[in-house]
Structure formats: structure tokens, C-alpha cells
Amino acid sequence: MGTYAVTGSASGMGKAAADRLRTDGHTVIGVDLKDVEIVADLSTSAGRADAAARVLTLAGGILDGAVLAAGLGPVPGRERLIGEVNYFGVVDLLTAWRPALAAADSAKVVVFSSNSTTTVPLVPGGTVRGFLAGNLDRAIRPTKKFGKNGAAFVYAGSKIAVTRWMRRTAVTKEWAGAGIRLNAIAPGAILTPLLQRQLDDPATAGAVNSFPVPIGGFGTAESIADWVAFMLSPNGNFLVGAVIVVDGGSDAYFRSDDWPVPVPVSGVLRYFQLSKKFRSNKGIPCVR
Ligand code: NAD
């Protein structure tokens, strides 16, 4: 049985994942604003550092895995909070936990992305680049022109950036090379308190209810928790840098032909350079 850190474990999908891991016999160290083992505010860098350190102490320096589910929805006026929790609340914690994950045998991490990464149009590239550069002001600036709709672009931008960070990081020698499997789940509309708040608000209910979901209805937190448990199990040993989309078909509906795509002519040189680098062991020296 393993020890897992789960952020956002007081509600919704984080709570369902924590419950499922405990039912399976694992030890869970929950991180949230209330009602969990470690009460911490992931919207500040001091709160993130405190949460990261206290998890490491409770885990005794070895983590078998982590689930990064804490997050805010696209609520107008909360743009900074959204960016702080959804992007830095993942990157800062995982960076601090990496040695403890590497110390375990075959550690596995699931980051909560979202299908908004591929279904929200016109997310400014500057927002994604701002997050990846670690600069929240730069990330938010290009969304201001959208007024109160800007929160939706900060939200989708934070999820695109955290997913790109995950994919870039997953394949490095410090992560895959150290035996850590880093992946993301991208849920669509899942009926949690976060979605319920959007359904209860007349300003957002229409958009949620009319959003195309080919299979119909909403997903459940418990079914997402089952996916998370599967990704954290030995079945996930060969899963690295993957984004598992569980959204009733919305992404496929809007983007059916956008992936997979062959490497374009402009990318062939880089493709061969990366192959050569990997062969010469400058990339990942050894994946367990
Ligand atoms: P939720 O609101 O039910 O749970 C989120 C949890 O994060 C809450 O317990 C909350 O207290 C915690 N949290 C928020 N701010 C925090 C902070 N500053 N410090 C510590 N904890 C904080 O939401 P959910 O629907 O279960 O969402 C889980 C994740 O899935 C989020 O990252 C969300 O963006 C993402 N997501 C949700 C949906 C959906 O439809 N529900 C869809 C796609 C992605």
C-alpha cells in the first residue's frame, strides 16, 4: 500500500479520488482549505511552500504518488486566484515533491487538466506563455480585453499551460528518468460542487447546459476517481506524459481531425535532433 498526496481533497473529484485511494487501503495526505490533514492556501507561494513541506514531513520523505485536483472554475473577478491555484498550485508542489516521488518505486502523478484546453476557442498564446514563464501578471494581461469573460481565458490558459508543463517535464531525466510517471486527466463537465455553482448561476447555466456533450449528461466524480486510481495503479507503469480526456465526446466533437497529426515539414529537423539526443543518452539515460 502506498502514500499519496491529494490536493483539493475536501470536495468534488479530489475528495472522490482520496476516498477511493483510502478504500483501496492507501494512506492519503489531503491538502485543502479545510477538513483535511493539511489545511493550506495554495493561492499564495507561502501557502504552497508550507503545504509542500508538511506533506513531505507526514510522508517521511517518500511519496508513492500525488493527485493535483485543487482548482477554481472560471469565475469572473477571481482571475489571480485561478492562475495561482490551477497553475502554480500544481507546478510548485510537484517541484518540491519530486525528490520524494523519485525515492519511491514507480511513483505516479495525476494532474487535473480540463477539456477546456481544447474546447475553449481563442485562448491567448501570451497567457499560456506567461504561465510557463512563471509570470502571473504576464499571463493575465492578454485576457483583460475580454472584460468579465477574461476569467474563462485565464482558466483555460492555466489548464493548457499546466498540461504543457506536465508533458515537457514528464519526459525528462529528473522525472521519467527517475521512474516517476507524470500524466494528466482532462475531465469535461463533471457534476461536482464546482459545476453545480455554474449551474446555479443564471449567468453561466445556459452555457453549461448547451455545451455539446455527444454522449449526453454530466460525468460523476466517482467515475473520474476510478480513472485516477487506474492511472496510479501498476496499470499506469507505461503511461507517461499522457492526457486522458474523459468528457463524453466534447473534445472529439470539436477537434476530431486536430490530433493525431503527422510531424510537419517544419518540425522534421527537430524530430531528428531529438532522436539523436535520446540515442546519445543526453535525454533520458535510463527509464526504470
Ligand atoms: P471542487 O470545487 O468540487 O473542488 C476543488 C477543491 O479545490 C475544493 O475542495 C477547494 O477548496 C480546493 N481549493 C480551491 N482553492 C484552493 C486553495 N487556494 N487552496 C487549497 N485548496 C483549494 O471542484 P472539482 O470540480 O472537483 O474540480 C477538481 C479539478 O478538476 C479542478 O482543478 C478543476 O479545475 C478541474 N475540472 C473540473 C471540471 C468540472 O466539470 N467539475 C471539469 C474540468 C476540470
Residue 282: per-residue pLDDT? 63
Model confidence at 281, in pLDDT bands (50, 70, 90)? confident
pLDDT value at 287 more than 80: no
Atom 34 in ligand 1: residue holding the nearest Cα: 71
Residue to mutate (ligand 1; options 6, 9, 13, 87; most atoms within 8 A of CB): 13
Catalytic residue among 87, 155, 253, 271: 155
The atom of ligand 1 lying closest to the CA of 70 is: 7
- What one-letter code names the amino acid at 278? F
pLDDT value at 283 more than 70: no
pLDDT value at 288 more than 50: no
Q: How far apart are CA 110 and CA 180, in angstroms?
A: 11
Name the H helices within 60-181: 79-83, 89-102, 116-119, 125-132, 136-140, 150-170
The per-residue pLDDT for range 196-240, each reduced to its tens digit, is: 999 999 999 999 999 999 999 999 999 999 999 999 999 999 999
Q: How far apart are CA 171 and CA 287, in angstroms?
A: 10
The per-residue pLDDT for range 112-145, each reduced to its tens digit, is: 999 999 999 999 999 999 999 999 999 999 999 9
Q: In what order do the strands lie in the sheet with 243-246?
A: 38-39, 27-32, 3-7, 65-68, 108-112, 181-187, 243-246
The answer to whether residue 4 is catalytic is: no
CA of 70 to the centre of ligand 1 (A): 5
Coil vs helix vs strand at 244: strand
